[in-house]
């Protein structure tokens, strides 16, 4: 089973499990959104690995007039996003690989949550450059809420131990916990040091870490 099939399979339970799997849920999703500022109230937003549209929903709450483009490998996940945004006409859905997809427009804001860490480091670096090319030159923003790897192997082991303790004491069922562990084979997080190097090499003028809770990090870059 590949990554797409794994997320197709878990799509209907995905949102309901988020708060149990991400014990810093509110801060993780909201810290970057709270920091977003844009000179207009109708930015064009691209969500990479959008899934069910959870992260996009926070953007839409802050910028109700924004136009959203959601791209994801999983048609099942995007079907749930369509249901989430059924009352909005300003949302486009693309079932494809965002690394290889050829976009025909520029965006004011590019966001991603818990997706980019599945890529190889080489492809992460390529994506950062691609994102910089996709955002409008003056004031374009890239917001990446993702899992990051500790610089220290010993600390990384402690991070993972703490996360497992949290979810094993959560309300998740045993099979849900087992499936979460299985999906970890697709994880390939990078260190913050490497990711900031990719921000710089891609051409971002300003970038920083907005939030960190163990492995959960929110990074911000502006052109």
Q: Which domains does the chain have, with CATH numbers?
A: 3-222 (3.40.50.150)
- List, for residues 44-94, the tens digit of each pLDDT value: 999 999 999 999 999 999 999 999 999 999 999 999 999 999 999 999 999
Summary mean pLDDT of the chain: 92
> pLDDT band at residue 4, thresholds of 50, 70 and 90?
low
Beta strands 216-222 and 141-149, pairing class: antiparallel
pLDDT for position 25: 94
The pLDDT > 70 percentage for the chain reads 94
Burial label for 2, CB within 10 Å (0-12, 13-18, 19+), is exposed
Nearest-10 crossing angle of helices 153-168, 174-183: 150
CA distances from 198 to 26, 108, 163 (A): 27, 20, 27
Tell me whether residue 165 is exposed, middle or buried, using C-beta atoms within 10 angstroms of its C-beta: 0 to 12, 13 to 18, 19 or more. Answer: exposed
For 2-46, where are the alpha helices, taking DSSP H only? 3-21, 25-35
Q: Note whether 38 and 222 are within 8 A (CB).
A: no
Rounded to whole angstroms, the Cα distance separating 121 from 109 reads 23
In the predicted model, is pLDDT for residue 134 greater than 80? yes
CA distances from 161 to 20, 89, 101, 164, 166 (A): 15, 43, 37, 5, 9
Contact 47, 92 (CB under 8 A): no
Please give the pLDDT value at position 150.
97
Find the mean pLDDT for residues 183-189: 92
Has residue 182 got a pLDDT over 90? no
Q: Which helix (H) or strand (E) holds 201?
A: helix 192-202
- Residue 167, pLDDT > 70, answer yes
Question: Do 73 and 96 contact (CB within 8 A), yes or no?
Answer: yes
Q: Which residues contact 2 (CB under 8 A, 6 or more apart)?
A: none
For residue 5, the model assigns a pLDDT of 63
Flag whether pLDDT at 178 surpasses 70: yes
pLDDT value at residue 3: 65
Tokens matching residue 92: 């486009």
- Taking the complete model, does pTM exceed 0.85, yes or no? yes
Asked if pLDDT for residue 155 goes beyond 70, the answer is: yes
Q: Give 89-123 pLDDT, tens digit per residue.
A: 999 999 999 999 999 999 999 999 999 999 999 99
Q: Looking at the predicted structure, is the pLDDT value of residue 217 above 70? A: yes
3-state DSSP call for residue 218? strand
Q: What is the pLDDT of residues 7-21, one digit of tens each?
A: 656 556 677 788 888
């Amino acid at each position: 089973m590949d990554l797409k099939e794994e997320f197709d399979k878990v799509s209907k339970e995905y949102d309901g499990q988020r708060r149990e799997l991400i014990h810093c849920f509110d801060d993780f999703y909201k810290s970057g959104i709270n920091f977003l500022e844009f000179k207009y109230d109708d930015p064009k937003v691209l969500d990479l690995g959008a899934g069910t549209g959870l992260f996009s929903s926070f953007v839409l709450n802050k910028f109700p007039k924004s136009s959203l483009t959601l791209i994801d490998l999983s048609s099942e996940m995007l079907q749930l996003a369509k249901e989430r945004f059924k009352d909005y006409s300003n949302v486009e859905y693309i079932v494809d690989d965002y690394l290889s997809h050829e976009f025909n427009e520029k965006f004011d804001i590019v966001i991603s949550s818990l997706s980019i860490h599945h890529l190889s480091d080489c492809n992460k670096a390529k994506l950062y450059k691609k994102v910089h090319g996709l955002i409008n030159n003056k004031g374009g923003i890239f917001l990446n809420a993702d899992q990051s790897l500790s610089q220290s192997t010993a600390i990384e082991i402690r991070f993972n131990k703490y996360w497992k303790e949290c979810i094993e004491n959560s309300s998740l069922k045993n099979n849900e916990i087992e499936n979460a562990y299985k999906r970890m084979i697709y994880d390939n997080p990078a260190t913050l040091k490497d990711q900031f190097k990719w921000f710089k090499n891609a051409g971002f003028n300003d970038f920083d870490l907005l939030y960190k809770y163990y492995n959960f990090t929110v990074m911000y870059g502006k052109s």
